[in-house]
Amino acid sequence: MSVLELRDVNVFYGDFQALFSLSLTIEEGQTFAVIGANGAGKSTMLKTVAGVLRPRSGHVLFEGETVDHVSAHDRVSMGISLVPEGRRVFPSLTVEENLLIGAYRGREGDWDLESVYELFPLLKPLSKRQSASLSGGEQQALAIGRALMSNPRLVLLDEVSLGLAPVVIKRIYEAMEELPGRGTTILVVEQDVQHVLTVADHVACFLEGRISLQGTPGELSPDDITAAYFGI
Amino acid sequence: MNWVNIVLQGILLGGLYALFAVGLALVFGVMRMVNLAHGDLGILAAFIALALVQSAHLPLLWASLLTIALMFGIGYVLQRGLLNFTLGSDDTRPIVVTFGLSIIIQNGLLLGFSADSRGLDAGAIENASIHISNQLAIGWYPLLVFIAAVAVIAALQLFLNRTKLGRAFRATSDDREAAELMGIDNRHIYALAMAVALVTVSIGGIALAIRTTFDPSTGPFNLIFAFEAVIMGGMGSVWGTLLGGIVLGVAQVLGAQVFGAGWGILCGHAVFLLVLALRPSGFFARTVTT
Amino acid sequence: MSASPGLDAGDREAASKGPSIPAFRVARSKRMHVYVLIASVIIVGVLASVPLWSQLSTSSNLITLFELVVLAQMWNLLGGFAGLVSVGQQAYIGIGAYGLWLLADEFHVHPFIALAGAATLAALVALPIAPLLFRLRGGYFAIGTWVFAEIMRIIVSNIQATGGGSGTTIMSVASIPFKTRIHGTYWIGLAAAVGSILIVYFLLRSKIGLGLTAIRDNELAAQSSGVNLFRSKLIVFVIAAFGCGAMGAVLGLQLLFIQPASSFSVNWTAFAIFMVVIGGFGSIEGPLIGALIFFVLQQTLSQQGSTYVLLLGAIAVVMATVAPRGIWGWVVARWDLHLFPVRRGLVMESPPERAGPAAPSEAAAASDAS
């Protein structure tokens, strides 16, 4: 039984169709990367999995169950957690409060304040600071830590490297590498192909709402990827 | 005339206004909605308490507690059952709907209770005063109301800062979509916020009803005073509403003293306009934008 | 009527040479609008003639309809078009009524002329107050307008000269012969109603109107596009005050006796909201329909008691929650009908290249701004 399955999912923004009969399967423990240009539908797919968007047709299955009618906040209880595009930390809350909010649903698991601080040591000295005053990289670490606090089975990461310095991106990806060891499945969406391919064991490339290429990093050549990315 | 006495009276009156204001501020803080029926709901509470005292012959304290509990429920259902559906990108709908609600409540009360002025009787405490010195005396009752206001605000602040639910309120206020991603059900949080707001405004309504007379048309006045206190106190600050209430109370009382009884309220309005003109973000504006 | 800014014949020709872009022009009116215009002129003509052939009571009743039309149009101008929901327009209604008294009784201007002065007075009062109120947003702005109405009510109630809280009779109006007063007020009322529609119509067709729609949809985007937010809002606010002031003055002419409690009553806002919610926000047709419906309700039910107002409130609440576009909104959604040519659309010069109907087609491709 796969952790996540999308079956013929069609998603619209009003009259505009963003995803066309999308089908995807992700197995437990995988680090699955979705790459593609801006507007290819990657974030749309993540939001559909998280429950922020609903497909007009098609199904989203989580651990074998259809979750089409489950609201976003209930999906957190089920074990899906989204690190949204743009970080979206709560500006008036402190770092620690942000993390605690991540545990709102009280799911059992290994992740708690201590373990998150272990993963991102840079956050510990900032724990009492208002998150609005953090740098981009610190906010990103916080957003990921916050998502982990819900002890998810499936973590969705939306463009975590956007706007961050390479050094920071490197640290974030290093942290990401530790996650599969803890039984967490990762679905990561990125425009930055280089970094994500170092951690992913599966890759899918999106182009205008459809999958243009799929496989493992080993099988796919840089030329294949470039072609699929730009639709050449 | 003893000015210190007068200013003290104004400060204590500010406590009553703060009780009305804090709920308005809370609802705006959590869901960016201004409830135009806020004052009327406070008066509704006063009428419910009155009915419980007069018809069910409950002692005032029990009637009040029961009323407050009832208003909590009414607030939850009102928000979840009606007002949640008016929220969205369109700013005008909640205003129109809550205004309609205000009309409904006022006229419903008129039909049920008539336009006669009423009062709640709390006994001797209403007129007892503390004599601090030869020239300085403050009423027991206004002092109690002020202390109640401080207690309510302190409790609310504690709730927001130290509890899990309070944190959820603040998170929802900051970014409601991100809050959903944390597993927070917005509809529920909004309904709770309205319920808490109605608890505070009920306390205010009952306090007002004991202190002075009220009738179905009193609601809008309380809304206006609450609003002025919130704006002067700076939106986003719960303690600020106390300060705003105090400024308003003092302005009204001083105005009545200097210009005559009919002009006190107008003086309050004038000070409000002045603060709006000079310092539109109020006294305690939140520095972190939400 | 065509308006094609920046598109000269050369552009159009070039555009039509491409494989799939038919020649077009940007225009506002369709053939139907000409019929609407003719029909409107006829209707206004008929209305103008009413005092000549019907009973005085009919004329007297219709004055109320005209007042309602003005109120609905002005409230909708603020709330439906500019996104400024006011629950305090009664401030200007009261200023209009008392302004009439002031100019007619104290300054001995003929009441029919004093009306213009009273409306101007309302506009002048609105001018300095608007910048203050604009510091508030949304619901707080609404309450702010209410506060100002309250301030006006208290001030007028406390001035002895105006009769204080008990009110006053406008003597100079009372001294006009009954029939003359009714007829005169009728025509003035009709002019005010037609005027209010025309003001809104021309305002919307102007640059300010376009800016207003932009502001209503997205203030930040509008501002960064160069729309002068403050000026547009100010103009609209002052015009709405002028309109409500005129309405208040007509009210004074009609009723003779004015009182702070009723001239400055928040019930006027309740009526305005009811009319616009039922009829439909953000169009000219909507408030017109709402005013008609409300007028008929008033005439047939003729109760003014609490049950009646409560029912109004309940209907408004339900409509605003469930059908926020109102009756006219439903009409627009169903038939895409626009009686007043305010929006710009694309008019095809010739049929599109691919096979289609032989007659030139008019495509209204105006972006849906509501």
Q: What's the ipTM? A: 0.90
H/E run at residue A8: strand A4-13
Q: What is the DSSP letter of C361?
A: P
Facing residue for C317 by CB, picked from B104, B265, B266: B104
**Any CB–CB contact under 8 A between A104 and chain B?**
yes
In chain C, count of helices (H) and strands (E)?
Answer: 16, 5
Tokens standing for B284? 């305690």
Find, in chain A, the residue whose alpha carbon is nearest to that of B185: A73
**What pairing do the DSSP bridges indicate for beta strands A154-158 and A16-26?**
unpaired
State the amino acid at position C348 in one-letter form.
Answer: M
Residue boundaries of the structural domains of chain C: 61-266
| Cα–Cα distance for residue pair C300/C178, rounded to 1 Å | 25
| Cα–Cα distance for residue pair C350/C370, rounded to 1 Å | 29
Please say whether the beta carbons of B140 and B122 come within 8 A: no
Q: Do B107 and C306 touch (CB under 8 A)?
A: yes
pLDDT in tens, B243-275: 999 999 999 999 999 988 878 999 999 999 999
The number of folded domains in chain B is 1
| Cα–Cα distance for residue pair B58/B55, rounded to 1 Å | 8
| Cα–Cα distance for residue pair C282/B48, rounded to 1 Å | 39
pLDDT in tens, B87-102: 987 788 999 999 999 9
Output the pLDDT for position C359. 34
Output the pLDDT for position C368. 33
Find, in chain B, the residue whose alpha carbon is nearest to that of C274: B100
Q: Do C313 and B107 touch (CB under 8 A)?
A: yes
Tokens standing for C63? 């004055």
Q: What percent of chain B has pLDDT over 90?
A: 71
Across the range B105-124, mean pLDDT stands at 87
**What pairing do the DSSP bridges indicate for beta strands A57-62 and A31-36?**
unpaired
Q: What percent of chain A has pLDDT over 90?
A: 56
The C-alpha of A178 sits at a distance from chain B's nearest C-alpha, in angstroms, of 22
Of A17-21, A55-59, B90-94, minimum mean pLDDT range: B90-94
Across the range B111-121, mean pLDDT stands at 88
> Which residues from A are below 8 Å from B170, CB to CB?
90, 92-93, 97
> Which residues from B are below 8 Å from C150, CB to CB?
224, 269
> Which residues from B are below 8 Å from C146, CB to CB?
220, 224
Pairs from C332-336 (Cβ < 8 Å, separation ≥ 24): C332/C280, C332/C283, C336/C364
Which residues partner with B79 through β-bridges? none
Task: Tell me the residue range of the domain where B55 lies.
Answer: 3-122+138-278
Output the pLDDT for position B263. 87
Q: What is the CATH number of the domain that holds B175?
A: 1.10.3470
| Cα–Cα distance for residue pair B41/B101, rounded to 1 Å | 9
| Cα–Cα distance for residue pair B1/B153, rounded to 1 Å | 32
Q: Do C324 and B82 touch (CB under 8 A)?
A: no
Output the pLDDT for position C3. 43
Q: Do B183 and A77 touch (CB under 8 A)?
A: yes
**Any CB–CB contact under 8 A between C154 and chain B?**
yes
The number of folded domains in chain A is 1
Pairs from C327-334 (Cβ < 8 Å, separation ≥ 24): C327/C278, C327/C279, C327/C280, C327/C286, C327/C289, C327/C290, C327/C293, C328/C279, C328/C280, C328/C283, C328/C285, C328/C286, C328/C289, C329/C280, C329/C281, C329/C283, C329/C286, C329/C370, C330/C280, C331/C285, C332/C280, C332/C283
Q: What is the CATH number of the domain that holds A144?
A: 3.40.50.300
Looking at the predicted structure, is the pLDDT value of residue A98 above 80? Answer: yes
Find, in chain C, the residue whose alpha carbon is nearest to that of B268: C151
Find, in chain B, the residue whose alpha carbon is nearest to that of A99: B182
> Which residues from B are below 8 Å from A50, CB to CB?
181
Q: Do A104 and B185 touch (CB under 8 A)?
A: no
Q: What percent of chain B has pLDDT over 70?
A: 94
**Any CB–CB contact under 8 A between C316 and chain B?**
yes
> Which residues from C are below 8 Å from B99, CB to CB?
87, 142, 269-270, 273
Give a yes or no: residue B283 inside a domain.
Answer: no
**Any CB–CB contact under 8 A between B185 and chain A?**
yes
**What pairing do the DSSP bridges indicate for beta strands A154-158 and A80-83?**
parallel
Tokens standing for C188? 């003035």
SS (H, E, C) C9-68: HHHHHHHHHCCCCCCEEEECCCHHHHHHHHHHHHHHHHHHHHHHHCCHHHHHHHHHHHHH
Please say whether the beta carbons of C273 and B96 come within 8 A: yes
Q: Do C320 and B110 touch (CB under 8 A)?
A: no
The C-alpha of A72 sits at a distance from chain B's nearest C-alpha, in angstroms, of 6
> Which residues from B are below 8 Å from C72, CB to CB?
none
Task: Tell me the residue range of the domain where A74 lies.
Answer: 4-230
Q: Do B164 and A132 touch (CB under 8 A)?
A: no
| Collapsed DSSP state (helix, strand, coil) of residue B214 | strand
Facing residue for A73 by CB, picked from B167, B170, B184: B184
**Any CB–CB contact under 8 A between B269 and chain C?**
yes
Facing residue for B103 by CB, picked from C83, C147, C313: C313
Tokens standing for B176? 């409601």
> Which residues from B are below 8 Å from C266, CB to CB?
220
**Any CB–CB contact under 8 A between B167 and chain A?**
yes
Size of interface B-C (CB pairs under 8 A): 120
Find, in chain B, the residue whose alpha carbon is nearest to that of A103: B182
Chains B and A are touching, with contact defined as 3 or more CB–CB pairs separated by less than 8 Å:
yes
Across the range A76-87, mean pLDDT stands at 93
Which residues partner with A22 through β-bridges? A9
- Within 10 Å of residue C314's Cβ, how many Cβ atoms? 16
The set of chains that have 3 or more CB pairs under 8 A with A is B
Q: Do B183 and A150 touch (CB under 8 A)?
A: yes
Cβ-Cβ contacts under 8 Å for C323 (sequence gap 6 or more): C329, C330
**Any CB–CB contact under 8 A between A198 and chain B?**
no
**Any CB–CB contact under 8 A between B180 and chain A?**
yes
> Which residues from C are below 8 Å from B102, CB to CB?
313
Torsion of CA A143, A144, A149, A152, to 10 degrees: 130
Find, in chain B, the residue whose alpha carbon is nearest to that of C138: B91
The C-alpha of C79 sits at a distance from chain B's nearest C-alpha, in angstroms, of 7
**Phi (first) and psi of residue A136, to 5 degrees:** -60, -45
The C-alpha of C31 sits at a distance from chain B's nearest C-alpha, in angstroms, of 34
> Which residues from B are below 8 Å from C140, CB to CB?
28, 34, 227, 230-231, 235
Output the pLDDT for position B130. 76
**Phi (first) and psi of residue C339, to 5 degrees:** -75, -35
pLDDT in tens, B217-230: 999 999 999 999 99
Facing residue for C150 by CB, picked from B97, B98, B224: B224
Could you list the pLDDT tens digit for every one of the 370 residues in chain C? 444 444 455 455 544 454 566 666 666 667 778 888 888 899 999 988 888 888 888 888 999 999 999 999 999 999 988 889 999 999 999 999 999 999 988 888 888 889 999 999 999 999 999 999 998 888 899 999 999 999 999 999 988 888 888 888 888 888 888 888 899 999 999 999 999 999 999 988 887 777 777 766 666 676 676 667 788 889 999 999 999 999 999 999 999 899 999 999 998 999 999 999 999 888 889 999 999 999 998 888 766 677 888 888 899 999 998 887 888 888 888 777 777 766 656 656 555 444 433 333 333 333 333 3
The set of chains that have 3 or more CB pairs under 8 A with B is A, C
Output the pLDDT for position A82. 95
Q: What is the pTM of this model?
A: 0.87
Facing residue for A132 by CB, picked from B168, B177, B288: B288
| Cα–Cα distance for residue pair A93/A101, rounded to 1 Å | 9
Give a yes or no: residue B143 inside a domain.
Answer: yes
| Collapsed DSSP state (helix, strand, coil) of residue A158 | strand
Give a yes or no: residue B254 inside a domain.
Answer: yes
Q: Do C139 and B280 touch (CB under 8 A)?
A: no
| Collapsed DSSP state (helix, strand, coil) of residue B254 | helix
The C-alpha of C279 sits at a distance from chain B's nearest C-alpha, in angstroms, of 14
H/E run at residue A62: strand A57-62
> Which residues from C are below 8 Å from B85, CB to CB?
321
Across the range B120-132, mean pLDDT stands at 75
**Any CB–CB contact under 8 A between B261 and chain A?**
no
Q: Do B34 and C139 touch (CB under 8 A)?
A: yes
